[in-house]
Structure 1
Amino acid sequence: MWLKNITLLNFKNYADASVSFSKTVNAFVGNNGAGKTNLLDAIHYLCLCKGYFNPIDSQQIKTSEDLFLIQGDFNRDERNEKITCGVKRNQKKQFKRNKKEYDKLADHIGLFPLVMISPYDTNIITDGSEERRRFMDNVISQTDAHYLDGLILYNKHLLNRNALLKQIAVTRSYDPSLLEIYNDQLVASGLKIFAKRQQFMLDFIPLFDKYYQFLTEDKEQVNLEYQSQLADTGFEQLLLKSIEKDKLLERTTTGIHKDDLIFQISDMPLKKFGSQGQQKSFLIALKLAQYAYLQKYKGFKPLLLLDDIFDKLDDNRMHKLMEMVSQQDFGQIFITDTGRERVLALFEKIKVPLTLFEVNNGAINHA
């Protein structure tokens, strides 16, 4: 699978732009604020129905305009697939495949898998567990058409149970049979999510270890672990044990919505004890493992987007990364960087052909 071209209308700082891509490595160079990252974000929209950096569609519309439009042609299984995303202020987002609008956007997820690596990804390490669960869910949902539906169902049951807990706090009375129904619903949907996350991590951790050791030449010892309350105690028992605490706090304190990923370096928390370079290598290994996982289960190569990732990587790690992603294991790649000469020198050194574009104030030109 590869993206042949893209057209942007009133998207972020692009008034009107079109560009065709090569099937291999495409690099976009230019000053900060020129629009390089915005171009990658538009590709992310075509693949996953939303922006990577901001979930609010209307905020992607160019200032003083009423709508944005993104259109791209993919080659998948030797067939042309035209994807169109349109957002008009105060209206529902329109998303079409070959001019036919989707009934629900979830049906598009996984058809055009994509992995994005960005400086923004540091929030996976520095922020709370929600970011790490989102990372897991993003990978699994691109390979399992039912996973996203199951997650939506679990969150619906969770909202219902939390609403009941708030009602109990106000009225100081409740119907135990109704709470039991909500518990049963939460358990049934939660156990399915837990089982899928467990299986995912069994496949994912060896891939992560492989890429991290390659990047660091086996010089550092890291650990990635899936943490869930359900690992030691049945979900039903957890809910029964925590009922008094739940009533006091007016929310459900146990379940798969509390799952986390534990990141360690030399048996210490990566967040506190990892250098910027080590954290960057950890994140890149996570994302390359995501790529390998998607390729394994989709049967073809996803798109790989590398946004301004050369900062905070020493020359050796940068060279190892580019050497790796430019090999046959990877397909179409999109790279952004401020340093034109740095990009040219790097790809000359590893003997990989490169298609170079210059981005300047919302205009994209072949360099």
Structure 2
Amino acid sequence: MNLNTLSLVNYKNFENQIFDFDTKINCFVGANGIGKTNALDAIYHLAFGKSYFNPIALQNIKHGEEFFVIDGRFTKNEREEKIVVSLKRGQKKVIKRNSKAYEKFSEHIGFIPLVIISPADRDLIIEGSDTRRKFIDSVISQSDKSYLSALIAYNKILSQRNALLKYFALNSTFNSDNLEVYNDQLATYGAEIFKKRDDFLKTFIPIFLQRYNAISLSGESINLTYKSDLFNAELSSLLDQNLSKDRALQYTSVGIHKDDLVFLIDGFPIKKFGSQGQQKSFLIALKLAQFDFIKQQSGVSPILLLDDIFDKLDENRVAQIISLVDDEHFGQIFISDTHGERTENIVKQIHQSYKIFKL
């Protein structure tokens, strides 16, 4: 999978810009605020139909303009592919593949396998369980369309059940038959999602541990554990057991929408007991394991975006990461960094062709 050309019109701070890329390594260098991360985010946008950094779509339009267009020309399995994402104020976002618009954005997910490693990933450690669930869902969805469909259906039914619980409370009424319709559907989709998450993590965690050990030279013990209500009972039973609680809270308090990933170092939460370097290594290992898993599932090397990852890492850890990507296992890599000279010294060690874009 290669991105050959990227064309940006009114995207964030870019008015009109075209990039022609190397098939291996591409580096965006320049001062903070110049647009390095925005260029990477545009590539992410082509893969996922949304920004990695700003979920409010209209805020990705350049100030004072009415629209943005991101145009990417790819080569996948020796075929040319054109992906265009566009948004005009007052209209819905449009994603086109080879000039044909998708009816559902979910149909596009997974077509361009991509992994981003960014300082923003720290949210996986410091934010709530929702952020970690989204990580799991993003990885599985890139290679499993039925999982994504089940997840969309589950979230829709969950929203409807929550609305019904609020209606009951506001109108001092209750109808168990109406609620049971939603319970049955949640239980069906929830069981499917739980099983796929559990199976995924049984495969993923050993890959992650291997990646972390390759990056970190300090020998600390780290782990990931999957936490879910469904390890204790089937969702239908849990919904029945928690009915009084749900009616009082006016929302659904149990289910796969409460699942979490627990990040541990030497048996303790890495959020509290991991150093900044350990946390960064943990997150990089997590994302490289994501890369390995997607490649294993799809047979295609994902595009790898490295946003400012050499900041706050000591030279040993940087050297380890470089030695890992100096390998035919990886395909096309995009790097952003504030220090052009540092970047060039790093990429020279990789023994691959490269281009540097000074912004």
How many residues are aligned here?
Answer: 359
Structure-2 separation of matches of 1:38 and 1:149: 30
What SS does the corresponding residue of 2:145 show, helix, strand or coil?
coil
**Offset from partner CA, 1:310-344 (integer Å, 9 cap, x none):** 11111100110111022111100000001111112
Q: Does 1:187 align with 2:187?
A: yes
Residue matched to 1:169: 169
Structure 2 letter corresponding to 1:200? F
Residue matched to 1:143: 143
Residue matched to 1:26: 26
Q: Is the 8 A contact 2:325 2:350 kept in 1?
A: no
- The offset of 1:160, in angstroms, is 1.5
Q: Is the 8 A contact 2:22 2:353 kept in 1?
A: no
- The offset of 1:352, in angstroms, is 4.0
Q: Does 1:276 align with 2:272?
A: no
Q: Is the 8 A contact 2:26 2:335 kept in 1?
A: yes
**Offset from partner CA, 1:64-89 (integer Å, 9 cap, x none):** 11111110110011110011111101
Q: Is the 8 A contact 2:6 2:19 kept in 1?
A: yes
Q: Is the 8 A contact 2:2 2:75 kept in 1?
A: yes
Residue matched to 1:259: 259
**Offset from partner CA, 1:108-132 (integer Å, 9 cap, x none):** 1101110001101100000000000
Structure 1 letter corresponding to 2:2? W
Q: Does 1:73 align with 2:73?
A: yes
What SS does the corresponding residue of 1:34 show, helix, strand or coil?
coil
Structure-2 separation of matches of 1:355 and 1:132: 34
What SS does the corresponding residue of 1:264 show, helix, strand or coil?
strand
TM-score (norm 2): 0.98
Q: Is the 8 A contact 2:27 2:357 kept in 1?
A: yes
Question: Which residues of 2 match residues 89-104 of structure 1 at below 5 A?
Answer: 89-104=89-104
What SS does the corresponding residue of 1:292 show, helix, strand or coil?
helix
**Offset from partner CA, 1:209-258 (integer Å, 9 cap, x none):** 01000001361110101110101211111111111111111111000000
**Offset from partner CA, 1:89-108 (integer Å, 9 cap, x none):** 11011111111111111111
What SS does the corresponding residue of 1:146 show, helix, strand or coil?
helix
Structure 1 letter corresponding to 2:315? D
Structure-2 separation of matches of 1:262 and 1:279: 13
Residue matched to 1:354: 354
What SS does the corresponding residue of 1:334 show, helix, strand or coil?
strand
Structure-1 separation of matches of 2:309 and 2:326: 15
- The offset of 1:171, in angstroms, is 2.7
Q: Does 1:345 align with 2:341?
A: no
Residue matched to 1:105: 105
Residue matched to 1:333: 333
Structure-1 separation of matches of 2:348 and 2:182: 61
Structure-2 separation of matches of 1:348 and 1:100: 40
Q: Is the 8 A contact 2:215 2:281 kept in 1?
A: yes
Residue matched to 1:363: none
Q: Is the 8 A contact 2:24 2:352 kept in 1?
A: no
Q: Does 1:117 align with 2:107?
A: no
Q: Gaps (5+ residues) in structure 1?
A: 360-367
Q: Does 1:295 align with 2:295?
A: yes
Structure 2 letter corresponding to 1:22? D
Question: Which residues of 2 match residues 194-213 of structure 1 at below 5 A?
Answer: 194-213=194-213
What SS does the corresponding residue of 1:10 show, helix, strand or coil?
strand
- The offset of 1:149, in angstroms, is 1.6
Structure 2 letter corresponding to 1:256? I
Structure-2 separation of matches of 1:149 and 1:350: 40
Structure-2 separation of matches of 1:353 and 1:74: 18
Structure-2 separation of matches of 1:143 and 1:77: 16
Instruction: Single out whichever of 147-156 and 291-300 deviates more from structure 2.
Output: 147-156
Structure 1 letter corresponding to 2:306? L
**Offset from partner CA, 1:161-208 (integer Å, 9 cap, x none):** 111211222233311111222111110111111111111101110110
Structure 2 letter corresponding to 1:307? D
Q: Gaps (5+ residues) in structure 2?
A: none
Structure-1 separation of matches of 2:166 and 2:57: 32
Aligned identity (percent) is 49
